[in-house]
Chain A
Amino acid sequence: MKFTWFNLMPWPHLPDDFREKNHSVWVDIDSRLFDPVKSHEVYNTYLDLLEYASTLGFDGIGVNEHHQNGYGIMPSPNIIAASLARRTKDVALVVLGNSIALYNPPVRVAEEFAMLDCISGGRLVAGFPVGTSMDTNYCYGQIPALTREKYQEAHDLIMKAWHDPDPFAWNGRYTKLRHVNIWPRPIQKPNPPVHIPGGGSVETYDFCLDNTYSYSYLSFSGYIRAKALMEGYWDRVAKRNTADMSPYRAGFAQTICVADTDEEAQRLYEKHVLYFYNRCLHVYPGFADAPGYRTIKTIQTGALSQYAPPKGYADVTWKELTEGGHVIAGSPETVRQRMEELIKSLNVGNIFCLMHVGDMPREKCMYSTRLFADKVMPKLRNMFPDYANDDRFWCHPVEQVKPGSLPTERDAFAVAGHA
C-alpha cells in the first residue's frame, strides 16, 4: 500500500453564516474573507503539518491545484512542493497535479516538474488532471468543449519534451513552438510516474491503461459511493485484457479522522468535518459543470458532478457522513476495519489520506495523523502481497543529499588561503 498524507489547504476562517451569506466558495468567493496576514500563519502551519507527516512513515505527502477557492489556497502546487522538497527526505512528493491545459506553453509544466524531480532527488509523483470545471473553465477561461483536446495535446507535448533528447518543433493546434528543448530534465526515466485524477469517463480509463498511468478518483463523497465508478474502471481494465489488475493502477482520496474511541472522534472532529462539508463545499451549482466540459458519454453514464449533489451538504450530519463513508472516523480499530473495506472493495493501492479537514487546528490534526500512522497504517501495509513489487506507479529516488551540505565557513575561507 502507498499512503499519501494530503492537505487541501482550506481557508480556516470562513464565517459561521458563510453558506447563507455567500454565493459560492469557489470562483467568485468574496476576496475580503481572505486575510493575507493570517494566511502567513495558515500557510506555515499547513507546511509544518505536511513536513510532520513526512516523518511518520507515510509514503508520500500530497498537494493539488485549485483557483479562487476557499478550501484550497494552493493555486500553485509547485511552489508548495518546492518548499517541501527542501525540508523533507525519503517521501514522495505527490503533486496531483498540474492542470496542464492551463499552462501556456505547457512545457512550463515539463520544466517545473523536472525541477521538482531534480531538487527532490527523484521523489516526484506527477499528476495531470484535466482540472475541475470551476478551475479550468470559470477561473481560467478555457473553452469547455475544447478543454480535453487541449489537455491531450499538452500531455503529448510534455511527454515528448521529457523523452526526446534533441530539440524538436511542435506544431500543435493549441501550442506552436519552433525549439522545444527543456532544461533541466527529470531524474526519473523515461518520466516520473504519472497519476491521472478522473471522474468516471471511459476515455480517461483508456488513457491511463494505454500509458500505464495510475487512475485516481478524488472524491469527497467517500468510498461507498465510489464503488460504482471504480467498478467501471476495473471492468474496463478486464475488458481490455490488461496484463494485470494491480491495485496500484488506482488511487482514492478519503477523509480520515482517528481518535482513541469512536465517541472521542466525534467530539474532537465533528465541528471541523461539518465546517468542510457545510462551508467549504458550498459551491454554486452553476459553476459545477460548464456545458461541453464533460463528454456526452460521461454524462450518460450518470456520473453527475460531485460538486452539485442533488440535496447539497447544507444540513448534513456527522452520523450521515460517517455512516455514508464520506468520512472514515473513529477508534484505530474502527478506522482500520473501514479502511480495509475501502481498499478491498475498490481494489486501490494508492490512498490519498485527507487528514487535515476544514478548520481543524494543528494539535488535533497531529493527534489524528499520529494515531493513523502508528495504529492503523501498519496493519494495512500488506493488503496486496501479490503486487508487493509493483513499482511502476511510484517514484524512484536517488540517494538523497544530506542537509547541511555546505562546508564550514572556515573551510570555505581556506580557498583564499585564510587560516
Chain B
Amino acid sequence: MSLQLKTIAAPHVPVRYHEGGSGQPLVFLHGAGGAMPNDPFLEKLASKYHVYAPLLPGYGDSEECPSLRDMLDFTLHSWDVVEALGLKNPILAGHSMGGMIAAEMAAIAPNDVTRLGLICPAGLWLDDHPIPDLFATMPYEYPQLLFHNVEAGAALFTAGAQVDDPEWLKAFLVTNARQLGMAGKILFPVPDRGLSSRLYRIKAKTILVWGDSDKLISPVYAQAFKKGIRGAELVAIPEAGHMVTLEKPDQVVSALARLG
C-alpha cells in the first residue's frame, strides 16, 4: 500500500505528512532518523490502518521551525497536527524519538488518547544503562548501533554512496543539521526531558514493542516504561535491533494490532 506525501497547515509551520491506507486512523511519529522514501514500515502499516505520518519540521523536505524549542513545544505541536488533520482519538504510535513524543502527548492529554503504541521509545534515562551518544556517532558506526543484522543494515544505510565525496558529505551534513539538529532539541545531550515524572498520567491502553538486541536503547528500558505506565504490555521481538520497524515490520504491525 503506497502512501502520499501531503502538506497541512498547522499553527507554527506547514507540516508535511505521509498518508495512505484505510481502516482505523493511526498517527505514526517517526524516530530521529526520519522516514525513508517509500518507507517499507509505513507501507506495512497502511495495509491495515489509515496512516497519517507527519514529519517533524526540518525532516525530509519540510520547512524548519525555529520557534519549536523544547519538549512542551514538540508535544503541543504534535497535538496541533492531529487537530489540523481533523482526527479525534486516533491510535497514536511512535518509534524511538517519536515514541517519546507520543508518550508525552498521552501524558499531557490523557483523556484524548485511548490506544498508544510505543516502539522502543526514547525519553527515559537509567544511569546504569547509558544510551550511546547518537550525536557523536559517525555514519559508518550507525549500522552497528541500530540493527540486529549489521550487514543488511549497513547496506540500507550507505546505499552505495562514497562517504568521502565532498558533495555527498555536504548533502549529508545539511540533512543532518536539519534533522538531527531538530531532534537534538529534545534528545541532546541526554534524551530525558522529565517524562518519567509524567508517565503516571497516561491512561491509554499501551503496547510497548522492543527488539531484543536493541543496542541504542537497551531492552532494560522496556521494563522502566512498563513500570511507569499502568497496564502497559510488552511485546519483545527476537533478532531485531533498534530499527525493529525495518527488521521485523510484520511483527511490529501485529503487536500494534493488540491495541484493538
Which residues from chain A sit less than 8 Å from chain B, CB to CB? 27, 137-138, 141, 143-146, 149, 173, 284-287, 289-296, 299-300, 302, 304, 310
Q: A287-B136, A294-B177 are in contact. Are A143 and B188 (CB under 8 A)?
A: yes
Task: Decide: A286 and B169 in contact? CB cutoff 8 A.
Answer: no
**With the chains together, A45 CA to B177 CA distance in Å?**
42
Task: Decide: B185 and A291 in contact? CB cutoff 8 A.
Answer: no
Residue from the set B136, B137, B173, B185 with the largest chain A CB neighbour count within 10 Å: B136
Which 10 A-B pairs give the minimum distances between C-beta atoms?
A: A292-B181, A291-B180, A145-B181, A286-B136, A141-B189, A291-B176, A291-B181, A286-B138, A299-B173, A144-B184
B200 at interface by CB-CB < 8 Å: no
**With the chains together, A137 CA to B177 CA distance in Å?**
14
Contacting residues, chain B, for A149 (C-beta < 8 A): 66
Q: A292-B177, A292-B181 are in contact. Are A137 and B188 (CB under 8 A)?
A: yes
Extra pairs beyond A138-B189, A287-B136, A291-B183 (10, CB < 8 Å): A137-B135, A138-B136, A141-B189, A143-B185, A144-B181, A290-B135, A290-B184, A292-B182, A299-B174, A304-B173
27 CB < 8 A contacts A-B: A137-B135, A137-B189, A138-B133, A138-B136, A138-B189, A143-B185, A144-B181, A284-B136, A285-B138, A286-B136, A286-B141, A287-B136, A289-B173, A290-B135, A291-B135, A291-B177, A291-B179, A291-B184, A294-B177, A295-B177, A296-B174, A296-B178, A300-B170, A300-B174, A302-B170, A304-B169, A304-B173
Closest to B190 in A: A141
**With the chains together, A144 CA to B138 CA distance in Å?**
17
B69 at interface by CB-CB < 8 Å: yes
Task: Decide: B138 and A292 in contact? CB cutoff 8 A.
Answer: no
Which residues from chain B sit less than 8 Å from chain A, CB to CB? 66, 69, 133, 135-138, 141, 164, 166, 169-170, 173-174, 176-185, 188-190
Contacting residues, chain B, for A293 (C-beta < 8 A): 177, 181
Contacting residues, chain B, for A302 (C-beta < 8 A): 166, 170
Looking at chain B's contact residues, the main secondary structure is helix
**With the chains together, A138 CA to B188 CA distance in Å?**
9
Closest to A290 in B: B135
Give min CB distance, A304 to chain B, whole Å: 7
Contacting residues, chain B, for A27 (C-beta < 8 A): 136
Residue from the set B141, B169, B180, B188 with the largest chain A CB neighbour count within 10 Å: B188
**With the chains together, A11 CA to B188 CA distance in Å?**
29
Give min CB distance, B180 to chain A, whole Å: 4
